[in-house]
């Protein structure tokens, strides 16, 4: 009788665990589809700005168009590789990967594209059993799932800014890519 009861408990547990794991796998699949579209759209936006306008900033306090692009790259790197992945964070003051310096438009786009690729690779390998683990996110307790969502919002926030930069330079932004 005990064996039957134990078998029943295991079956019930497995019946509830499988749908949860499937939902979490679906989250990664759906997140990556959205993230890939976000990448495509951001690269189109970056291509739309002429290179001679990459230093454009609407106010002195604003990031330039180029700085916004590299800030997006830095944030992707930090959220995934450092915060979620445990790698020591790049030092913003000394690391040159995400500094504009004398980078050309082509070089900036290449850095952003490469960082998207690295971020996507990281997310594909992410251990979904860690979703509910909490981390300190600027003084707030956030799950790793929330951190992935915050990263997507951060990209959208800065991309929205540079879309306005295009308009301020009388340029028409690329048509919006759905599902991002």
CB-based burial label for 70 (10 Å; 0-12, 13-18, 19+):
buried
Is residue 117 a known part of a binding site? Answer: no
> What is residue 71's three-state secondary structure?
helix
Query: Any binding-site annotation on 71?
Result: yes
- Is the distance from CB of 171 to CB of 48 less than 8 angstroms? yes
* Residue 79, marked binder: no
What span, in angstroms and rounded, lies between the C-alpha atoms of 14 and 163? 48
Helices 65-77 + 105-124 axis angle, to 10? 20
Phi/psi for 85 (5° steps) reads: -95, -15
Binding residues for a divalent metal cation: 71, 154, 158
Binding residues: 71, 154, 158
């Amino acid at each position: 009788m005990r064996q039957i009861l134990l078998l029943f408990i295991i079956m019930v547990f497995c019946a509830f665990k499988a749908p949860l794991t499937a939902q979490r796998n679906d989250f990664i699949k759906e997140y990556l589809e959205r993230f890939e579209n976000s990448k495509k759209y951001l690269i189109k936006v970056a291509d739309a700005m002429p290179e001679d306008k990459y230093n454009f900033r609407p106010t002195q306090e604003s990031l330039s168009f180029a700085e916004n692009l590299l800030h997006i790259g830095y944030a992707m790197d930090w959220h995934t590789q450092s915060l979620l992945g445990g790698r020591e964070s790049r030092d913003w003051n000394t690391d040159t990967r995400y500094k504009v310096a004398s980078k050309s438009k082509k070089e900036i786009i290449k850095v952003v594209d490469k960082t998207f690729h690295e971020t996507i690779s990281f997310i594909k390998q992410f251990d979904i059993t860690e979703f509910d683990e909490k981390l300190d996110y600027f003084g707030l307790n956030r799950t790793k799932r929330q951190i992935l969502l915050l990263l997507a919002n951060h990209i959208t926030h800065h991309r929205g800014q540079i879309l306005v930069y295009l308009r301020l330079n009388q340029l028409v932004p690329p048509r919006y890519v759905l599902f991002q």
